[in-house]
Chain A
Amino acid sequence: MTAAVSSPSTADWRGRCQRWLGEVFDQPASVRGAAVLRIVLGPSVIWHLRPFLVDALNGITYHDRFQQPWWPWYPNAPDGLYVALLWIGVAAALLMTVGLWSRTATWAAFAVVAYNLFLSQTHFHHNRAFLVILLAGVALCDNGRVLSLDALRRPPSVDLGLVWPLWLLRFEAAVVYFASGFSKLIDPDWVGGRVLHDRAVRYQNEVRDALGDTLADPVLEVVTAQAFHWVLSPAAVATELFIAFGLWFRRTRLAAVWVAVAFHVGIEVSAHVQVFSVIAIGALALWAVPSTRDRTLVTPCRWVRWLDWLARFDITVAPGASWSMVDRDGTMLEGKAARQFVRTRLPATFLFSRFWRYR
């Protein structure tokens, strides 16, 4: 007779897996990250629908121009209904932003944006695909429990909900960086600098128009040099891959978020990517640990409460008191150290903080 005995490491691994699965699928956690993203997605949906609405106001819809259907069976809305759907999308986006009937509004915005995307392959852009995915994920979360008029009207006792959609969204966000970075990594023209160099050479007139001759000359001397792109291109690929993996680990997460924000600002300045930069930066809120007010903070400054959008702190404002903070693990910080730590955890000040000292 033989007995199946698990080694301690196997049992430990299995236990950790079960705990993780429990956390993902069973245990409720804070949906605040999804609520922050909802607020970002609302105006983004309007921005995304704007060109379609401008055309519609000029009497033009997709029926009037070249279109390439995805599937022959996909229903085509007549002009009037199509335009009405666009306006329904705008209304839903406004409701999302203020958080009124949050979840229904998010589903409605998702339905309109997705329907429009799948009307014609000419409507496809990567940023629109990402927008559809984010809308679906946020709609799956009970995103109206905080930062919403819904929460003001019927205050929930806690901001907890099931967070498996949050994990799904994290996966999707990481895939966007990974797929982009990996495809460039295995493309010799890309990683070798040829693609970016050619673009820089081709669009140098736009740089000259934007900066004027005096400023443009030294800038162009650098950015049109091939050697510059031998460095920039692999660095860009490494950046995307670092973000894709760095977001998953606690020790690298803050650095990955910081790099991601800088990366998206850089893309926005140098290219037209529609809503991509905004929604990708908004999606970074999903990487905040889904627990709230689990650090205690005593501060003399009222502004901390206004900037703590992700509810990282249980805040007591005491005029005249010195800064004092107790972290999740019981670590206590006082004075300047506490103040600096707080700055690393507030979305508005994080970019300018010394986050690497407080991982």
Chain B
Amino acid sequence: MVVTQLALVANGYRDPHNYFAFQPFNESSTYAVELERVLPDGQRVPVPNGHWEGYDWDELIGWGPLRSPWRQRHAFSGVDAVVDFLDHALDWLADNTPGDTDTRYWEATVTYYRNARGPHATVVRSHDRELGGP
């Protein structure tokens, strides 16, 4: 157990989430997300305030660190952790919104300040959805 714990602490310097590595308050970074739905014809549709096709981002994601990401937010556990979670959240969204028959995939442009340095930007996107035929 001692060796496992020490290995997890060491792994925290590689893993963006530093699970079981006990590195709280590691960054003071902030981020904001521009969320878009990309339709089959390539058209990009912004998602103002996380509402689309009767869905609500905050209600679906329901997790504090990714709540209302279109506003400037503190990056819980650091920017890398948030971007990784956002990437998975978009995939989850793609799999769990059957009422949305238009969106081919989701794309999020993340603008962030790492410890007040920036802005920097990165883009994450969901996997492609299989849309039903006409």
Question: Interface code A171-187, partner B: CB below 8 Å = 1, 0 otherwise?
Answer: 11001100110011001
| A: interface residue count bin | 20 to 34
Docked pose: A271 CA to B24 CA in angstroms: 11
Whether the pair B5, A67 counts as a contact (CB closer than 8 A) is no
The distance from the CB of A135 to the nearest CB of chain B, in whole angstroms, is 14
Docked pose: A172 CA to B85 CA in angstroms: 28
**Chain A residues with CB under 8 A of B2:** 168, 171
Nearest neighbor of A65 in chain B, beta-carbon distance: B62
**Chain A residues with CB under 8 A of B19:** 121, 124, 129
The distance from the CB of B30 to the nearest CB of chain A, in whole angstroms, is 7
**Chain B residues with CB under 8 A of A129:** 19-20, 22
Nearest neighbor of B28 in chain A, beta-carbon distance: A198
Given A67-B92, A198-B115, are A60 and B25 also a contact pair (CB < 8 Å)? no
Whether the pair B30, A168 counts as a contact (CB closer than 8 A) is no
Given A66-B92, A179-B23, A180-B22, are A202 and B61 also a contact pair (CB < 8 Å)? no
Given A171-B2, A183-B12, A194-B115, are A122 and B63 also a contact pair (CB < 8 Å)? yes
Given A180-B23, A195-B27, are A122 and B116 also a contact pair (CB < 8 Å)? no
B38: CB under 8 A from chain A? no
Whether the pair A202, B60 counts as a contact (CB closer than 8 A) is no
The distance from the CB of A128 to the nearest CB of chain B, in whole angstroms, is 10
A251: CB under 8 A from chain B? no
**Chain A residues with CB under 8 A of B18:** 183
Question: Interface code B63-92, partner A: CB below 8 Å = 1, 0 otherwise?
Answer: 100100000001000000000010011001
The distance from the CB of B3 to the nearest CB of chain A, in whole angstroms, is 11
A-B CB contacts (within 8 Å), total count: 82
Q: Count chain B residues whose beta carbon lies closer than 8 angstroms to a beta carbon of A.
A: 33
- Residue in B5, B28, B62 whose beta carbon sits within 8 Å of that of A194 in the complex: B28
Docked pose: A129 CA to B24 CA in angstroms: 12
Whether the pair A168, B1 counts as a contact (CB closer than 8 A) is yes
A104: CB under 8 A from chain B? no
Q: Label chain A's interface by main secondary structure.
A: helix
A68: CB under 8 A from chain B? yes
Given A179-B21, A194-B116, are A66 and B63 also a contact pair (CB < 8 Å)? yes
Whether the pair B26, A273 counts as a contact (CB closer than 8 A) is no
Given A121-B17, A172-B5, A202-B74, are A179 and B28 also a contact pair (CB < 8 Å)? no
A126: CB under 8 A from chain B? yes
In residues 3-46 of chain B, which contact A (Cβ within 8 Å)?
5-6, 9, 12-13, 17-28, 30
Whether the pair B116, A198 counts as a contact (CB closer than 8 A) is yes
The distance from the CB of B100 to the nearest CB of chain A, in whole angstroms, is 15
**Chain A residues with CB under 8 A of B22:** 126, 129-130, 175-176, 179-180
Docked pose: A324 CA to B9 CA in angstroms: 47
- Point out which of B17, B23, B88 has the most chain A C-beta atoms below 10 A from its C-beta: B23
Docked pose: A124 CA to B30 CA in angstroms: 20
The distance from the CB of B96 to the nearest CB of chain A, in whole angstroms, is 8
The distance from the CB of B98 to the nearest CB of chain A, in whole angstroms, is 14
The distance from the CB of A278 to the nearest CB of chain B, in whole angstroms, is 15
The distance from the CB of A183 to the nearest CB of chain B, in whole angstroms, is 4
The distance from the CB of A129 to the nearest CB of chain B, in whole angstroms, is 5
**Chain A residues with CB under 8 A of B6:** 175
Sample 5 A-B pairs with CB under 8 A, ordered by A number: A65-B63, A66-B66, A121-B85, A179-B9, A202-B28
Q: List residues of chain B with CB under 8 Å of any chain A CB.
A: 1-2, 5-6, 9, 12-13, 17-28, 30, 60-63, 66, 74, 85, 88-89, 92-93, 115-116
Q: List residues of chain A with CB under 8 Å of any chain B CB.
A: 60, 64-68, 121-122, 124, 126, 129-130, 168, 171-172, 175-176, 179-180, 183-184, 187, 189-190, 194-196, 198-199, 202, 271, 273
